[in-house]
Structure 1
Amino acid sequence: MSTAPSSSIDLSLGLEGHHVLITGGAGHIGRVVVAAFLSAGSNVTSLDIAHKPEDQILEPQVQPHHANHPKLLAIRTNITDPESVKQAFDLARLHLGDVHTCVCLAGLDLSVLSKDGLIGGDVKKWRTVLDVNVIGSMVIAQAWLAGIQRLATPHPSSPKHLSLILCSSEAAHFGTPLIPIYATSKAALHGLLRSLAEAVPKAQPYARVNAVAPGPVDTPRFREECAADPHQFYVDAQATVPRRMPVPVEDVAKTCVVLASGNMSGSVHGQVVRVDGGKTGNLVWREGEVGQEGSGR
């Protein structure tokens, strides 16, 4: 005799009242990720070096698309400075309670880096990018882990939602020959992720660690770059992308929300989730390009 399927599966995110700390919250992607967690009912702290002290927000934001959402706190923070990060976490905890989830979006991305290639790469620039993209993520991970270790008994609504989400990139998989430091920094996060995936559950059995790896994201900056270079849209978002389009910012934000939700991703741990429209690689040769050897045909 067959058994009827259960109709009692909880499909809610379960993130109401959950405290999410997001680095890079003032950026093109960060602002949307902040909005997504607010829409899920979470309390949100946004850390960004672009925030000004006078811009700190300690009251609910009343906006047409986020009316009556929980509190949002914005703090100017340098993620490469452990003391700045500690002060930010202390302030976040003071106003919104223990931090349960961290989403590490802050970093130097392709839009702010020059195309120096490997031979022309500036060692000082390499150190700066590694400091922000890798060391900065590590500093945030340390602060988050120290905080959740203090939760001897996690908040009743939060055990399934203790989560760290790193931000990698398609560049970690395929490289960026004109800006190799970017790909190197994002690939380094994979090693950090693998290490944290083993270490974190030993410190806090409820906690999970994952990463998102977006392809070209349809931000205003990406549109500006494509307008300046008519071939860029095709090269980055169509030539090797089955869906033939850049990634909507909302798709990155929703993926972060789902990964943060223990209801939705309770057994997803130590994974790099690619949000890239199925991208298969880089377009190595543009039409008309010829290498040092061969005809280029």
Structure 2
Amino acid sequence: MSFPTSFPSQHQSQHPGLEHMMNPLPVYDDDQYVGKGIMLQDKVALITGGDSGIGRAVALAFAKQGANVCIVYLNESEDANTIKTQIEALGRQCFLIETDITDKANCEMAISKTINHFNKLDILVNNAAVQYTTQKFELISDAQFDKTFKTNVYGAFYMTKAALPHLKQSSSIINTTSVVAFHGNETLIDYSMTKGALVALTRSLAMSLAKSKSGIRVNAVAPGPIWTPFIPSSMDATQITSFGSNTPLGRAGQPIECAGAYVFLASDAASYITGQTIHVNGGEIVNA
């Protein structure tokens, strides 16, 4: 597959952004790829932020490998229903839950509804997030800081805590962190902080669950830069044209290029992997 190396100037006022309004549309599927339904056959996965971007690509890849999917999203109903239709066309089930994961009760409700619908949960992907570009540290408002942490960190904490009683031997938790957790970003300071927190959560919870002999694995994927609705909704329009051009591969990645890492970590092929992070960042070497 070939992918764009540059993007036209654009900006979305809504945050998080809407995938169907992006130009060009993100690549989240490979129509030449046909999953054999063997890696995740009949497993149930809950993906926060699964309506668009990386979450959408992961949801579709999981379905192609035989999984049924619950997608938790905020208010992007058109995007959510698009991926629901595609998953169901594959003969798999897709259950949508519209809610705000910054609230503990909403996370508990989402897990409860998933269990009631599918009777089990095998995979939790903490993927939903927000980011805001701020030119100076002093300009990060208390409201922005609060929302970023409540969405990116509290949401993952609440979802994981609610899910754990239902997970069992060979279950998998996958957190979406970011390349900025490892090298920082001067205009995404609060976002970078949250992604660093998810790395620490991944490593610490993996150790805790390994010692309890639960058999539940916890890993992370650190993408970046990836062409998702995050970008036109949080970056200045003039920055879009060169987005991702500073990577060794010379371009931004597409959501489809992240999906395989999640499939691998969710599957039994990664049965001896926990507490680790897979870097999908166009070739940048980071200190883990």
TM-score clears 0.5: yes
Asked if 1:122 is matched to 2:141, the reply is yes
CA offsets 1:52-108 (integer angstroms, 9 cap, x no match): 6xx998xx9664x86342211001122122221112111111111211110111111
SS in 2 for 1:237: coil
Change (3 A) 1:193 1:119: same
The residue aligned with 2:263 is 257
Indicate if the aligned counterparts of 2:72 and 2:96 stay in contact, CA closer than 8 A.
yes
1:225-246 CA-to-partner distances (Å, cap 9, x unmatched) read 889326752xx5233x221121
1:198 pairs, out of 199, 207, 211, with 207
Match of 2:248 in 1: 242
Counterpart residue number, 1:142? 161
**How much does 1:192 deviate?**
1.1
Question: Which structure: larger Rg?
Answer: 1
Alignment length (residue pairs): 250
TM superposition shift of 1:40: 0.9
**Letter aligned with residue 131 of structure 1:** K
Unaligned runs of at least 5 residues, structure 1: 1-10, 152-158, 282-297
Q: Is the 8 A contact 2:125 2:173 kept in 1?
A: yes
Q: Label 1:219 to 1:124 Cα distance change in 2 as closer, same or farther (>3 A).
A: closer
What percentage of aligned pairs have identical amino acids? 28
Shift of 1:39: 0.9
Answer 1 or 2: higher relative contact order, Cα 8 Å, separation at least 6. 2
Structure 2 unaligned blocks of 5 or more: 1-35
Q: Which letter does structure 1 place at the counterpart of 2:45?
A: V
Q: Does 1:274 align with 2:279?
A: yes
Structure-2 separation of matches of 1:275 and 1:13: 24
The answer to whether the 8 Å contact 1:115/1:179 transfers is yes
Aligned partners of 2:186 and 2:114: how far apart in 1? 39
Task: Give the one of 4, 10, 23 matched to 2:48.
Answer: 23
Query: In angstroms, what is the RMSD of aligned CA positions?
Result: 2.9
Q: Which amino acid in the other structure matches residue 73 of structure 2?
A: D
Corresponding position of 1:183: 192
Letter in 2 for 1:92: T
Residues 231 and 105 from structure 1, CA distance in 2 versus in 1: closer, same or farther, beyond 3 angstroms? closer
User: Closer, same or farther in 2 for the Cα pair 1:76/1:227, shift >3 Å?
Assistant: closer
Mapping of 1:105-116 within 5 angstroms?
A: 105-109=127-131, 113-116=132-135
TM-score normalised by the chain length of structure 2 = 0.77
2-structure distance, mates of 1:260, 1:14: 9
Aligned match for 1:69, one of 73, 91, 94: 91
Q: How does 1:221-232 map to 2 (within 5 A)?
A: 222=231, 228-229=237-238
Asked if the contact 1:213/1:273 (under 8 Å) is kept, the reply is yes
What TM-score, normalized to structure 1? 0.75
